[in-house]
A and B are shown apart, each in its own frame.
Chain A
Amino acid sequence: MFKFIIKKRQAPLVWSSCLVFFGALVLSLAVSAIMLALQNKPPLTAMVLLFNGAFGSLLAIQDCLIKAVPIFLCSLGVAIAFRLQIWNIGAEGQYVLGAIGATWVALRFPDLPWFVVLPGMLATAFIAGGLWGLIPAVLKLYMRANEIIVTLMFNYLAILFLDYLVYGPWKDPVSFGFPMTREFSTSAIVGKIGHTQLNWGILLCIFSGVAIWIFFKYTRLGYELKASGENIKAARYAGLPYHRLVMLVLFLSGALAGWAGFLEASSTINRLQPSIVVGYGYTAIVVAWLARLNPVSIGIASFLLAGLRVGLEHLQLDLQVPAAFGGIMEGLILLTVLAGSFFVDYRVSLGKKS
């Protein structure tokens, strides 16, 4: 008799893990294609449309990059916290606070030149988002409050605060009572790069990604973080400053999400309004896990996920596939890829039953 033997791999897979990833992707696409066929939609055309809509032209790729920016920054942020096994579910709220911080500068100093306003917005968003992450850290360390619950609750607080501002003190006087702030002055808007659709926020992403990568790879603090994440007790025993590390990761985590909020408010909406909240903070968690907390993979995963969402719009428009199908397909892909990652960590072989 045969049975499956499951063993943890000693050496990590490198290139074969890509194969696993693509295998899972193809499998989920195949299932999606079958579902499309069941709805009497041409599955092959649909797949082509999906691909074309996401990556088929320069314009499409730009669309995806723009969409990927906030997902990437939020995801990079939560990944830092996850490295230390701190479960920051609050990227959504930190993102909102970043947007609020940036908006405060934009509304308060509309007449200053851009090279003063934009750095100011950048800094305030960083601090506001960071502080929103820091509070749960302090509550965790000194009051033993579970950070999962606290960060999650802080999302609701942040969104309510945003609502308060745009329905109240920051409401645009000429918006006919609609909840939104005044439009930012041009000096508070992150501009587009040349004649492309892209904005300079992309640079901020690259900078953050590289900085985080260097931080983990080459700095002592980064090493301490990784070590503490592997085994908290051992790290404490070795005298690593666990308290400080927790505060640091949650601050950084929130600050990066805050930058995402800043860019979204400044470059794409040009004002603060409730519809800035679309769940990037939660998407970020999935992306971080898909990418196994690696900054480069996070970049790729954010781009692919953005591509999927953009491509699905084309599928809707050209084939009138219901929006819910998009959700199903996204779920399928995430499920198969995450399940596939099992084969990256474990070796499955057939053996004889003794």
Chain B
Amino acid sequence: MRRAMFFWVFICVFAWGVASAADTPMKVGFVYVSPIGDAGWSYAHDQGRLNIEAMDGVTTSFVEAVPEGPDSERVMLNMARKNYSLIFATSYGYMDPMLKVAKQFPDIVFMHCSGFKTAKNMGNYFGRMYQARYLSGMVAGAMTKSKILGYVAAFPIPEVIRGINAFALGAQSVNSDVKVRVVWTKTWYDPATEKEAAKSLLDVGADVIAQHQDSPAPQEAAQEKGVYSVGYNSDMSKFAPKSHLCAPIWNWSSFYKEMVEKVQNGTWKNKSYWYGLEHGIVDITPMGSMVPKAVQKRVLAKKDEIASGKAKVFVGPIKDQSGKLRIAKDTPADDQELLGMTWFVEGVVGTTQ
């Protein structure tokens, strides 16, 4: 019992010390939806975090695997209470909780990834991943023999639907009658479910597996079957070296650096940042050696065109699954249309419900 008393006294004294400690460097907090792991969405963000951790006068920290409800609100609230001056929340479901916290702490800068709401001290950001998806679709379209591409996808939300559409358009641009079959897992991160979904696609004849998931499990399923795969988030070639054609990837480092600098020198604004290939925030990995040189050349040429603004991914005529014309001839879709995309392009097999 005495030992227990000693313990509590110690705790109280220590608590006092912790609470009264002051700090000078700028604290930057990150909220991740999944464990950082070694390849996925949160991993890519964390690579960006590590880069700003190396900056002078900046310390960073994170909380991983935070559910997208009230839990995330509390996590952000506690970052704010602990005097973090810039907070990045990296999942769509953190939008409303972040908005609530932002209202309570007007002096802290909040940045939300992949949403659409802003406040005086809250901006949002994302990357035009669909551009890189289009390029990966070109690779997949050139490599398929069965003309069926499998796509393991998380949730039927615009971000994912946009990616699938871009992938399908890319594939169709090199191989006109390719079909993309979609399976929803309703989870961002669940290796077992992702792998099962990939296997179900292999069973219906898909010979390239692409994914909008955070684990490399679909890659492994493809390699086991001896077919090709397209990764996501970060270079997944180490998980399936024989299958991995390429991967559309995120490079958050320079963007996070830019934001930290803007907050430091007071030029930050509550904008919506939506950078693309031109900024390097999205990219594709070097293509595997199984991809013929001619294909690689063609894909890289397209990448330059998109990056320089000469070409766009969603330019009409684009029809939806029912054959209805959604984007008129020679007109590019505007950002609002892209952000609210809830329909599949022609050639995608699956439903957006």
Contacts and interface: CB of A to CB of B under 8 A. Distances in A.
Interface of A: 22, 26, 44-45, 47-49, 51-53, 56, 59, 63, 66-67, 163-164, 167-168, 176-179, 183, 264, 268-271, 273-276, 278, 310, 313-314, 316-318, 320, 322-324
Nearest to B30: A317
A26 B7 CA distance: 11
Given A59-B81, A177-B340, A313-B75, A67 B64 contact: no
Interface string B126-159: 0000000000000000000000000000011110
Contacts of A63: 74, 77-78
Contacts of B161: 177
Interface in B299-352: 339-342
Given A48-B14, A177-B342, A178-B158, A316 B62 contact: yes
A51 B29 CA distance: 21
B59 to A, nearest CB: 11
A268 B69 contact: yes
A2 B99 CA distance: 66
Given A67-B70, A278-B69, A270 B96 contact: yes
B290 interface: no
A264 B116 CA distance: 24
Given A66-B70, A275-B68, A177 B158 contact: yes
Instruction: Tell me what chain A mostly uses at the interface: helix, strand, loop, or mixed.
Output: helix
Contact of B92 (A59, A178, A278, A314): A178
Interface string B91-112: 0110010000000000000000
B24 interface: no
State the 6 A-B residue pairs at the shortest beta-carbon distance, nearest first.
A323-B65, A275-B68, A268-B70, A177-B342, A176-B340, A275-B69
B40 to A, nearest CB: 14
A179 B155 contact: yes
Contacts of B340: 176-177
A176 B124 CA distance: 15
B82 interface: yes
B67 interface: yes
A48 B11 contact: yes
Interface string B67-91: 1111101110111011000000000
24 contacts: A26-B4, A44-B14, A49-B18, A56-B15, A167-B353, A168-B353, A177-B158, A177-B341, A183-B96, A268-B70, A269-B69, A271-B96, A273-B69, A273-B93, A275-B67, A314-B78, A317-B61, A317-B62, A317-B63, A317-B78, A322-B35, A322-B36, A324-B35, A324-B65
A276 B69 contact: yes
Contacts of B4: 22, 26
A266 to B, nearest CB: 12
Given A63-B74, A269-B69, 8 more contacts: A48-B15, A51-B15, A164-B353, A177-B157, A178-B158, A313-B74, A322-B64, A323-B64
Nearest to A56: B15
Interface string B179-197: 0000000100000000000
B61 A320 contact: yes
B197 to A, nearest CB: 16
B71 A278 contact: yes
Given A45-B14, A324-B35, A264 B61 contact: no
Given A51-B11, A313-B63, A320-B61, A264 B155 contact: no
Contacts of B62: 316-317, 320
Contacts of B19: 52
Contacts of A271: 96
Interface string B37-71: 00000000000000000000000011111111111
**Of B74, B82, B340, most A-chain CB atoms within 10 Å:** B74
Contacts of B64: 316, 322-323
Given A268-B70, A275-B93, A178 B63 contact: no
* Central interface residue in A167, A275, A322, A323, by most chain B CB within 10 Å: A275
Contacts of A313: 63, 66, 71, 74-75, 78
Nearest to A22: B4
B63 A167 contact: no
Contacts of B116: 176
Contacts of A176: 116, 158, 339-340
A322 B62 CA distance: 10
Contacts of A268: 69-70, 73
A54 to B, nearest CB: 11
B23 to A, nearest CB: 11
Contacts of B68: 275
Given A48-B18, A177-B340, A317-B63, A264 B78 contact: no
B79 A269 contact: no
B2 to A, nearest CB: 14
Contacts of A275: 67-69, 93
Interface in B1-43: 4, 10-11, 14-15, 18-19, 29, 35-36
A66 B15 CA distance: 23
B35 A52 contact: no
Contacts of B156: 167, 179
Given A48-B14, A177-B157, A177-B340, A310 B61 contact: no
Contacts of B353: 164, 167-168
Most buried by A among B63, B75, B81, B340: B63
Nearest to A45: B14
A48 B19 CA distance: 11
B157 A178 contact: yes
Contacts of A314: 78
Interface string B115-129: 010000000000000
Contacts of B15: 48, 51-52, 56
A303 B75 CA distance: 18
B74 A318 contact: no
A317 B74 contact: no
Contacts of A318: 61, 82
B43 to A, nearest CB: 13
